[in-house]
Amino acid sequence: MSTKSIPVLTCPNDDTAVGIDGGLTYVANCGVGDGSIDVSATPASPATYGHAAVAEPFVWNGNATDLVANAELTKDLGVFGAKIDCVTPPVSNAPVPRDFTKNPSANIGRIYDGAANTILFTENVNAGADTLTGAKSWANPSLRSCGFFFGLDGGSAGPATYGNLTNSSFTPAGGISPNRFMNQEKNGIDGAAPTANSRHIGIVVASFCDGTAKTISENIDRGVYTRLITPGGARPRTIAGWNPEAPMGGNEF
181 assigned to some structural domain: yes
22 assigned to some structural domain: no
Q: Render pLDDT for 175-234 as a digit per residue (tens, 0 to 9).
A: 444 567 889 888 888 887 888 999 999 999 999 999 999 999 999 887 888 889 989 888
* Nearby residues of 251 by Cβ (< 8 Å), 6 or more positions away: none
What is the DSSP pairing of strand 119-123 with strand 26-34?
antiparallel
Indicate the pTM of the whole model: 0.85
Concatenating the DSSP letter of every residue in 143-203 gives: HHHHEEEEEES-GGG----GGGGGSTTSPPPTTTSS--STTTTTTS-TTS--S-B-SSTTE
124 assigned to some structural domain: yes
Structural domain span for residue 165: 28-253
6 assigned to some structural domain: no
Q: Render pLDDT for 9-51 as a digit per residue (tens, 0 to 9).
A: 999 999 989 998 999 999 999 988 776 655 555 555 555 556 7
DSSP element (H, E) containing 68? helix 67-75
15 assigned to some structural domain: no
What is the DSSP pairing of strand 147-152 with strand 26-34?
parallel
172 assigned to some structural domain: yes
1 assigned to some structural domain: no
Q: What is the CA radius of gyration of the chain?
A: 17
250 assigned to some structural domain: yes
pLDDT greater at residue 84 or residue 54? 54
Q: Render pLDDT for 127-157 as a digit per residue (tens, 0 to 9).
A: 988 776 778 889 888 788 899 988 776 555 4
* Lowest-confidence segment of 5-9, 83-87, 172-176 by average pLDDT: 172-176
Task: Please count the structural domains in the chain.
Answer: 1
